[in-house]
Amino acid sequence: MKKFDADQPGYGLRRLASATCDTTVQGMLARASDPFFILPDQTVAPATRPAQIAGSVYRNGGKRLLETVLVVLSLPFFLPIMAVCMIALWVEGGNPFYRQDRLGRNGERFSILKLRTMVRDADAVLEDYLASDPEMRREWDEKQKLIHDPRVTRVGAFLRSSSVDELPQLWNVLTGEMSLIGPRPMMPEQLPMYGNPAHYFALRPGITGLWQISARNENRFSFRNEVDATYNEGLSVAGDVGIIFKTVGVMLRRTGC
């Protein structure tokens, strides 16, 4: 049996495809990671070549219309959940919301809205923690994320694991800054780690997406770049519907982060 090297191009997508049960999403991943599959004008790896992809009704307006309708229809269900979370965060101490800059479509900056999951003075807490643990410093420098983050509160840990902290971003979707489904929103300072952002900048970042449902523990930016390229190239109604259904499973199993 042929073995694949973890550093071999497409290895991460093959592993991601094999772990994804939804046939539509699995097909999207497996097709794009196949070394014998040639896309038009494929001269460099999917993660580095410019995103020159033919338009479609769904890509050029249908996706935006569908997601707006879905957000409006979901508000009666999600608003009471968000209200309960806001009360819990107030009791725990402080403003339940926070804003932070992200890079959106075409590289434009916008303020993402989330439920607060961290302690006050989170930056200082992080710096003290990283200064005391070189291994955690290496993990942070590579992935910009920690498995055991000392900044996260008790309520915040629940909100993260259930992905409920993302619900305020429904407002970002309604304003057109984000999509329901798309790449994970990138901080401006993370751009140099990401590589060529052509596929990322071709899309609105999403509340959920291909990376969010399948490989949240794989935080290398090169891998995220590869997944974003795969999603952009295979964008379709069926693929997005599959991602939505898998997102519900992630929320119910509380396997988010």
DSSP string, 1-26: -----TTSTTHHHHHHHHT---HHHH
Q: How confident is the model over 111-166, as pLDDT tens digits?
A: 999 999 988 888 888 888 888 888 888 888 877 778 788 889 899 999 988 889 99
CA angle, 216 as apex, 163 and 162 as ends, to 5°? 15
The average pLDDT across 210-226 equals 80
The average pLDDT across 193-218 equals 87
Cα dihedral 132, 158, 213, 165, rounded to 10, equals -100
The average pLDDT across 101-109 equals 95
The token pair at 112 is: 């993402």
The answer to whether the CB of 237 falls within 8 A of the CB of 66 is: yes
The answer to whether the CB of 99 falls within 8 A of the CB of 112 is: yes
The answer to whether the CB of 53 falls within 8 A of the CB of 233 is: yes
Q: Which residues contact 72 (CB under 8 A, 6 or more apart)?
A: 174
Residue-level pLDDT at 51: 45
Backbone phi, psi, residue 49, to 5°: -80, 155
**pLDDT of 232 higher than 70:** yes
The answer to whether the CB of 205 falls within 8 A of the CB of 179 is: yes
Of residues 11 and 188, more confidently modeled: 188
* Plot region of 232 (φ>0 → left; ψ -120 to 50 → alpha; else → beta): alpha
Whole-number Å distance between alpha carbons of 146 and 168: 23
The average pLDDT across 31-44 equals 37
Confidence band for 254, pLDDT divided at 50, 70 and 90: low
**pLDDT of 4 higher than 50:** no
The answer to whether the CB of 212 falls within 8 A of the CB of 178 is: no
The average pLDDT across 62-77 equals 95
Confidence band for 55, pLDDT divided at 50, 70 and 90: low
**pLDDT of 36 higher than 70:** no
pTM of the predicted protein model: 0.73
Q: Which residues contact 159 (CB under 8 A, 6 or more apart)?
A: 85, 115, 117, 165
pLDDT cut 90: percent of the chain above it: 48
Of 51-55, 217-221, 233-237, 250-254, least confident by mean pLDDT is 51-55
Instruction: Give the burial class of 60: count Cβ atoms within 10 A of its Cβ; 0-12 exposed, 13-18 middle, 19 or more buried.
Output: exposed
The answer to whether the CB of 200 falls within 8 A of the CB of 104 is: no
Whole-number Å distance between alpha carbons of 49 and 176: 26
Number of helices (H) and strands (E) in the chain: give both, helices first.
Answer: 12, 4
Whole-number Å distance between alpha carbons of 251 and 164: 8
Confidence band for 18, pLDDT divided at 50, 70 and 90: very low
Run of H or E residues at 91: helix 63-93
